[in-house]
Structure formats: structure tokens, C-alpha cells
Amino acid sequence: MHAPGEALRFPGRIGLGTWQMGQSAAQRSREVAAVEHALATGYRLIDTAEMYGDGSAERIVGGALKHFGAARRSELFIVSKVLPDNATRAGTARACEASIARMGCEYLDLYLLHWPGPHRFSETLRGFGDLLRRGLIRHCGVSNLDLGQLQGWLEAERSLGLPTHTQCNQLYYCPEARGIEFALLPWQRSQGIQTMAYSPLGSGRLVRNPALAQIGRARGVSAAQIALAWCVREPDVVAIPKSIDSQRLDENLHAAQLRLSATELQQVDRAFPPPRSQQPLEMI
């Protein structure tokens, strides 16, 4: 179990995202089975949010956790997020309690502000502080904050003297969305803030990308695996692709073992040129 104030350590480079789960009752059993399969085959990082399926994605995770076993909770790293509209001090606590209840997971390893909203960062941070002191979360962080917003967040955090500090910003990042590389990612590295890449396959588009497929054929792997290996090529980035197909889940997890060569990285750069100037933060 992680204690507040400890360094943030993810259990592996590839986790399971659950965005778009919980939107169809007809898919529920298949989605629960997919999360169960992911846990059985070695996934230990699970990302979700109260927004996904209006809480249904968290219930799907909870269904899979029952099968996994409450006694094994400490093996997992579970992430959820509070909606900006709920992110007052009291609202953050209520939202977290509801997320934990839907999943039946006792506590969250990491709790994030989903994106900037109407409430002051200090209000959300006070809510995070309350949750840390109650042992309901182990770490807190943010999602979809650009450089200026993240600097403001950290300034508010320092002023409050919380028992932990932000060590993660969850961002849209993949070969075709590299805007964070120009300024945000380097600054985060200077501050010891890790990146959790959501939609690392570009909402599925990169699975069929010809340039990535060509690189993959030479290695005997898929375009998706090349995209994921590219995403986690640096040690401070983890990726959370979503799938409910067992074969793709297995392939995604195994992508963490791939190490791209300098030549392969140059091929990706040619197909998806890195930014040369400041770009707006991309959110999907």
C-alpha cells in the first residue's frame, strides 16, 4: 500500500483505460470480462473516471475487481478523476467517496482533477488534502492542464502545505498528437511530474497507420504496438490504451517490452513530425 508523500511509482508502463466503457448496457458483460482478462494477464494499472458512462465504467471496474479478489487490492494501482463541476472542497470528497463505492476498492492510488473548471484550484486541492488525510487516496494529480495552468496548480498546492505533491498530469499523447513535447513535457520533467498518456492510439486511428504498420512488420509486431512502444519510450511516461478485445489487450501489454531503435524513432518522426513551436493542448 502506498502512503501519502511517497514517490509515485506506476506498476508497469502500460495500463488499461476505460474511456467509452459503460455507455451500453448490452456491452456490460463483455466489458467486465475484458477488465477481468486484463487483470488476469498482468495489467495492474487501471484508469477510469466518474464521467465515463456517468459512473458505469467505474461499476464495470468494480465488477471485475470482485472477481480479482479484495485480498489482492494492494497489487493494483487504480486511478479515477473528479469532474470539474464537482471539484469544490466538499464536492471533491463526495465524488471520490462515490467512485470508491462504485468500484468497491477501499481507496484510490491516484485521484485527478479531470480538467480545469469553474472552481479555484485551491478548493480542489483542499478536497484532495482531506482525502489524503482520511486515507481514501494515496496520490493526487491533474489531467489536461497546460503549462500555465499546471504552474498555477503547483503554486496553489505549495501555499496549502499538503502532505503530498502532484506527480502526474494525464494528457492526450500519441505520435499524431505531440504538442506537449515543445514546452509542457520538458517542464514537467524538470519538476518530476510524470505523464500518463491517454488515447495513445489516437482513438484507434493509429492501429491502421501505414507508416507504423511498416515499422511493425520488420519487427513482427502490430502498428498499435509500435505506437505504444513509442509512447512509453521515455521512463516518465505511461500509456493507458483501452480495448475490450482479449487479443489486443495482450498485444498492448506486451508493447511495454519493445524498445525502438534510433532508426525506428527517426521513421516515426518523419511520419509524425514533432512540433517546432508552442501548440495548444489537445483534448479528446
**pLDDT by 10s per residue, the chain, length 284:** 445 568 999 999 999 999 999 999 999 999 999 999 999 999 999 999 999 999 999 999 999 999 999 899 999 999 999 999 999 999 999 999 999 999 999 999 999 999 999 999 999 999 999 999 999 999 999 999 999 999 999 999 999 988 889 999 999 999 999 999 999 999 999 999 999 999 999 988 999 999 999 999 999 999 999 999 999 999 999 999 999 999 999 999 999 999 999 999 999 999 999 988 778 787 76
Class of domain 16-201+235-243: alpha beta
Distance of alpha carbon 63 from alpha carbon 112, whole angstroms: 22
**Around 38, how many Cα atoms within 13 Å sit in the side-chain half-sphere?**
31
End-to-end CA distance of the chain: 32
Bridge partners, residue 172, by sequence:
198
Q: Which residues are catalytic?
A: 52
Beta strand ranges found along the chain (DSSP E):
16-17, 45-47, 77-82, 110-113, 140-143, 168-172, 194-198, 237-240
Bridge partners, residue 111, by sequence:
80, 140
Return the DSSP state at 137: B
Domain boundaries, the chain: 16-201+235-243
Using DSSP, state whether 196 is helix, strand or coil.
Answer: strand
